[in-house]
Homo-oligomer: A and B are copies of this chain.
Amino acid sequence: MRDLSAPRKVATLREVAEAAGVSIATVSKVVNGRFEGMTASTRERVEAAVRELAYRPNRAGRSLRSARQSRIGMLIVDPSPRFLVDPFITNLVAGISNEVSMRGYGLLLSRIDPEEPESSYIVKGQEADALAVLLSGTAPEREHLLARLAELRHPMVVFQQAMPGGVEDVCTVRQDDVGGARQMARRILERRPSRALCLLPRQRWPAIEARLQGFEEVLAPAGVTLSQLRCDEGDMEGALDALREHLAAGPLPDVIIGTNDRLAVVAVEVLQAMGHKVPEDVGVSGFNAFPFTTPLRPRLATVRSPAYRLGELGARLLIERIEQGAFATRETVVPVELVEGESL
């Protein structure tokens, strides 16, 4: 029986060269598709040997020599170990993953602790050529973390937030949260509400703050009283209770604004359980709808998120940056789309 603990033996350039009766330089050229001025017979002999020995280039050797890892690192700052449950993150990562694969790169995925980013595998060694990052936390917390990440001197794409100051070789990609919120707010105004309640997750995300800003910009001047309730998304039942209590304590709002769909579903749930009709008594709006994830009924008035596209775009920008030497764009904002629904 073969010793399983020994690293399996894989053919090297040298072995292929020997088998084909050529030098390793020639094999290297063949493997890398540089056939200029090479006999067809040499090429064929080498290709045969490559196939014969099932040769696959050793990435470590290649990377060491070329100082290129052909890997993108994705860092997600989220306090929850279940970070991937968030459909925005999930769609974003899917977009990045597919784009990166298509272009021959690998994707390293890691959630990181905002307190000690250096402890991350991706950050510790020089594992990736470039970084894609999604940050949560307050503005100063994010700024601080970005500054530390910038010390790695990797090109970076930062998702879902505006261009940070003081860091170079960075590019941002985000959806138009402010614009989407403004649009939704205008739609809400058609109900002529006098008070609105905005439901926010406890964890701070720049995109959520942007949405809040958009809602305020439109609703406040129209004389709508906008109150806020933060609840822990990580605990749906807890969120239900928190909202129930809040509603019991004061006058019923005319509309409840979920800053994401999950919170909007909670709102519909609580309202119906309390005997209020949606949308007759209270309107409900959501945000960030995704294919296959959005609840079926009542169809939520919400905003479609282009998270998957953001991922593709960010990955593309990053790889172009690596290969061309500079970012083509510094800031990308992708429009969002209002989705009508009977909840409003």
Q: Which A residues have a C-beta under 8 Å from some C-beta of B?
A: 3-5, 7-8, 10, 54, 56-64, 67-71, 81-85, 87, 90-91, 93-94, 97-98, 100-101, 104-111, 120-122, 124-127, 151, 153-155, 169, 233-234, 236, 240, 262, 265-266, 269, 272, 290-293, 295-297, 308, 324-326
Contact call B94/A81, Cβ cutoff below 8 A: yes
A98 to B91, CA, bound (A): 19
| Copies of chain A in the complex | 2
Contact call A234/B292, Cβ cutoff below 8 A: yes
Contact call A64/B67, Cβ cutoff below 8 A: no
Contact call B81/A98, Cβ cutoff below 8 A: yes
Extra pairs beyond A59-B69, A82-B291 (14, CB < 8 Å): A4-B155, A10-B126, A56-B124, A60-B126, A62-B125, A64-B64, A70-B121, A84-B90, A85-B94, A85-B293, A98-B111, A101-B110, A101-B121, A233-B292
A299 to B120, CA, bound (A): 39
Contacts of A266 in B (CB 8 A): 296
Contact call B82/A101, Cβ cutoff below 8 A: no
In the complex, 10 of the A-B residue pairs with CB atoms within 8 angstroms, ordered by the A residue number, are A4-B325, A4-B326, A57-B124, A70-B121, A84-B91, A97-B109, A105-B121, A106-B108, A106-B110, A106-B122
Contact call B236/A296, Cβ cutoff below 8 A: yes
A154 to B153, CA, bound (A): 33
